[in-house]
Amino acid sequence: METLLPLMVGTLFAAGLYFILHRHLFKVILGLILFGLATNLFLFVIGGLTRGGSAIINEEQTVAVEPYADPVPQALLLTAIVIGFGIQAFSIVLIRRVYMTFKSNNLDELQKENEAQ
Amino acid sequence: MPSDLLLVLPLLIPLYGALLCLAFWQREQWMAVMAGLAQVAWLLCAFMLMRRVLALEVIATQVGNWPAPYGITLAADVFSAMMLTSAAIIGLAVYLFSLQGLDVTRRRFGYYPLMLLLQMGVAGVCLTGDLFNLYVWFEVLLICCFALLSLGGGKGQLEGAIKYVTINFLASGLLLSGVGITYSLFGSLNLAELALLVRQPEHPNLPLLSMASVFFLVGFGIKAAIFPLFFWLPASYHTPPVAISSFIAGLITKTGMYTLIRLFTLLFVSDQGFMLPLLAILSGFTMLIGVIGAAAQTDFKKILSFHIISQIGYMLMGLAIYTPLAIAGSIFFIIHNIFVKTNLFLISGVVAQRYRTFSLKKLGGVYLLQPVLSVLFLLTALSLAGTPPLSGFWGKLMLARAGLEAGNYTLVAVSLCVSLITLFSMTKIWNEVFWKPRPVAVKKDIAMAPINPLRLWQLYLPIVLLLAFILFTGLYARPLVRLSERAANGLLHIGTYTDTVLSNNRAK
């Protein structure tokens, strides 16, 4: 898992960036979603991966026994997922609105039309 | 009033104001009344916070009463109180402008609640004492910016909004990664505790801190529009109506700059041999490219947008020099720029209300018809360019002096040249918009909007108000200079900040 997940993070970042740079609006949405996923996964991986080590402290102890899963990155992750979800939803609505106004799916054409005015 | 409450109120007032506005959805007059009350209350609260901070230097509270490094900290020092107060002042000014300067449709569809939530985001960024919370507040602020930029759905606005949303989403992703890296290196998110951890020279993860700092530099660099990450700004800031763009242009990039200064004085101090020269180069290019870009433009709002970039360079210059005087200069410059930039945008709005265009080629002859407005513009523009004795001059004087003292001659030379080009840009607007006669061909095409004295008076009021502040800080600069020096001192000597935040542990 330790080697697989970082590779996946890298692939997701690369794919997300590639799609964000695309002029087709639908691919921009895909890019935003993939990039969001990449950051979330990165946050999860960088917190350290453990298996079966819950962060629950036993009754007779005062500190948790190593190795335990750090709950903070996971809490951050949850917040980040929710925020990312909201922004992705907004951008999908925005891009739909753009499509309905310009009747075009191509970012370059939007600019041309605006400059023509 | 207890300090805890004073720290939470700047967040609660805009939130409840926005909720009250939503209760009157589509009844814009009621929404305007609610928003006005919230704006005034916010301003009062900011002043009270300022007074308290001046007395106690730093105040902090733990939300939910969890002890300091674990709970969510709210803290205010002189710098954050200054940002908050200026945000509240221009918030009120833009609100007053919007009463006459914005179309009814946009006001009916949520302009006021969105503005209030945006202000809540700004307050959150200024007051938070927690790295992850900083990210969250930035998202609050950004989503309101997204909605405000696309509010009304004009063609240009939608195109600008797509660029703005995409690049800011990218920046937020980088920020979040930076937060993750910092947490995994030091095991804390509390700014005060992190500040103490990064100052332990024997900490094993210290060399890796510069890597995390680059994530923050790029993330906030995009939000503050520093070179070479500024291209989204001139593509999107001129598109929405003035009542929206003036607030965003005046405040949001400066909020990014505020965070950069905060983080690079508090956390990322270990590798200054690498970071400060980098910042100096970035600041020089930011100033230069911004002002050269402005020289090529022929649109009132686009020129002003490019000047935002150039001014960001000056704020970065202070951080790059990194002496108490330089940081104080940066802070002075940020506050001066918030007022001046907002005011210039508002003036462009008043001109465009009458002439229905922002294009320099189609404008002209404003001086003959509205001499008062012309004088207001002239004073504000000269202040932006830094003509003595107006406020821009003092900021630049502090920065130039600090630069000379630190031996940063190239940077000082660049900044002074950029000042001259700024003056050229402002005279260009003056010549084209106010001085030259109105083009004959345009006179037939575009009819001027009729003058309504009461309406005009309401549009002038916020501009005069802001200009009064600008003149005050220029002609009697001593209090603001002192305040900036105090804020810089608080940033560079972090002892009071960390002590206040971390000693706040006991349950009350």
CB B240 within 8 A of CB B304: no
Residue from B136, B149, B159 whose CB has the most chain A CBs within 10 Å, to mutate: B159
pLDDT for B506 equals 46
Instruction: Sort out which chain A residues have CB atoms less than 8 A from B165's CB and list them.
Output: 87, 90-91, 94
- What is the value of ipTM here, to two decimals? 0.91
Instruction: Determine what percent of chain A is predicted with pLDDT higher than 70.
Output: 97
Q: By CA distance, what is A44's nearest residue in B?
A: B180
Q: How many residues can be counted in chain B?
A: 508
Residues 119-158 of chain B whose Cβ lies under 8 A from any Cβ of chain A: 132, 136, 139, 142-143, 146-147, 150, 153, 155-156, 158
pLDDT for B505 equals 52
pLDDT in tens, A55-85: 778 788 877 777 778 888 888 999 999 999 9
pLDDT in tens, B296-315: 888 888 899 999 999 999 99
Q: By CA distance, what is B159's nearest residue in A?
A: A110
Is B277 an interface residue toward A (CB < 8 Å)? no
Instruction: Sort out which chain A residues have CB atoms less than 8 A from B150's CB and list them.
Output: 94, 97
Torsion angles phi and psi, residue B273, rounded to 5: -60, -30
Question: B315: distance to nearest CA of chain A, Å?
Answer: 30
Q: Show the 3-state SS of B246-280.
A: HHHHHHHHHHHHHHHHHHHHHCCCCCHHHHHHHHH
Instruction: Sort out which chain B residues have CB atoms less than 8 A from A80's CB and list them.
Output: 176
Here the tokens at position B377 are 């513009």
CA angle B399, B404, B409 (to 5 degrees): 105
pLDDT for B200 equals 87
pLDDT for B91 equals 94
CA B376, CA B353: separation in Å to the nearest integer? 16
CA angle B81, B139, A90 (to 5 degrees): 145
Instruction: Sort out which chain A residues have CB atoms less than 8 A from B169's CB and list them.
Output: 32, 35-36, 87, 91
The 8 Å CB, 24+ separation contacts for B469-473 are B469/B89, B469/B339, B470/B336, B470/B339, B470/B340, B470/B343, B470/B379, B470/B380, B470/B383, B470/B390, B470/B391, B471/B379, B471/B390, B471/B391, B473/B335, B473/B336, B473/B339, B473/B391, B473/B394
- Interface A-B: count of C-beta contacts within 8 A: 89
pLDDT for B504 equals 61
CA B427, CA B385: separation in Å to the nearest integer? 10
DSSP string, B317-383: HHHHH-SHHHHHHHHHHHHHHHHHHHHHHHHHHHHHHHHS--BTTT---HHHH-HHHHHHHHHHHHH
**pLDDT category, A117, cuts 50, 70, 90?**
low
B123/A117: higher pLDDT: B123
- When CB atoms are compared, the residue of B153, B155, B176 closest to A80 is B176
Evaluate the CA torsion angle A71, A74, A80, A82 in order and state its sign: negative
Provide the b/e sequence for B163-189 (b: ≥16 CB within 10 Å).
bbbbbbbbbbbbbbbbbbbbbbbbebb
pLDDT for B378 equals 92
Per-domain boundaries in chain B: 3-502
Question: A36: distance to nearest CA of chain B, Å?
Answer: 7
Domains and CATH numbers, chain A: 4-54+64-116 (1.10.287)
Is A71 an interface residue toward B (CB < 8 Å)? no
Low-confidence ranges of chain B (pLDDT < 50): 506-508
CA A38, CA B184: separation in Å to the nearest integer? 17
Greatest distance between any 2 Cα atoms in chain A: 75
pLDDT for A63 equals 77
pLDDT for B299 equals 87
pLDDT for B298 equals 86
pLDDT for A108 equals 80
